[in-house]
Each structure stands twice: as structure tokens, then as C-alpha cells.
Amino acid sequence: MKLTSTEEQLMELIWDKEQLFMKDIIDSYPDPKPATTTIATLLKRMQNKGFVAYKLMGNSRQYYPLVKKSEYFSKHVNGLIKNFFGSSSMQFASFFTTETNLTDSELEELKRIIDQQLNKKKL
């Protein structure tokens, strides 16, 4: 299931803080802040999609994520690879390294990450 861009923005706050009350959520937004009813509607939709839940704390709801950020973005990156690169991770990697204007140091860091993964697979 996919979140809208507005829901993703809210989900980023929830992933970042892990547990938030409505007041914390609204305080986290820059001015002009969205209406409480707007946030409540987004949270309800995200609950229905299975992304967030809440615990009752007195009269307040403390929201928390049900889906890890890494799981959510992993699914979408894999979907992107499937849809745009014919499920070829190699085509994606080639495109990513040639078309994103990575600096030499970023390419070196990427090489280090790949080398680490290769070493893990050898063990």
C-alpha cells in the first residue's frame, strides 16, 4: 500500500519521533500549521492503511508507526526497479551511478558499501 505525499510527510514525523500526541504532530509542522482536523483525517486514513496505530493515554491518543521506514521505502525502491528497469538491479545501479552526478567521494563510499556486502556474502 502506498501513502500520498502528504501522508508520507506526516509519516516521516512519526518515524522520526516514534511516538507522538496530536499536539506534538502539529508543533512539528512549520507555519502555517495544518488544521487539527486535517491531521486527524490523515491519521485516520493512515490507520486504515495499516501504517499507524495509537494508544489511549487518558483522553489523548499517542500515535506510533506500525511499518518501519526501511520496509516502506524498500518496497517502493523495488517497485521502481521492477517498473522502470525491468526488474534489473544492474540497470538501476548503472543508471543511478551515471545519471545522478555523484561526487568522487560519494562513489568511493558506494564502492565501500558494495565491498562490505560482498565480504558478508563470502562469510
**Domain coordinates in residue numbering, the chain:** 5-65, 69-122
Query: What region does 66 belong to: left with phi over 0, alpha with psi -120 to 50, or beta?
Result: alpha
Please report how many Cα atoms fall inside a 13 Å half-sphere around the Cα of residue 2, on the Cβ side.
Answer: 7
Q: pTM (2 decimals)?
A: 0.71
Architecture of the domain made up of 5-65: Orthogonal Bundle (1.10)
* Alpha helices (H) in the chain, listed in sequence order: 5-17, 22-28, 36-48, 69-85, 89-99, 104-122
Q: Which amino acid is at 63?
A: Y
CA-angle at 63, arms to 62 and 67, nearest 5°? 150
Strand partners, 57: 60
Location of C-alpha cell 520496509: 71
- List, for residues 75-114, the tens digit of each pLDDT value: 888 888 888 888 888 888 888 888 888 888 988 888 898 8
Reported as a single tens digit per residue, the pLDDT across 33-91 is 999 999 999 999 999 999 999 999 999 999 999 999 999 988 888 888 888 888 888 88
Q: What is the DSSP letter of 19?
A: S
- Mode of pairing for the β-strands spanning 20-21 and 52-57: unpaired
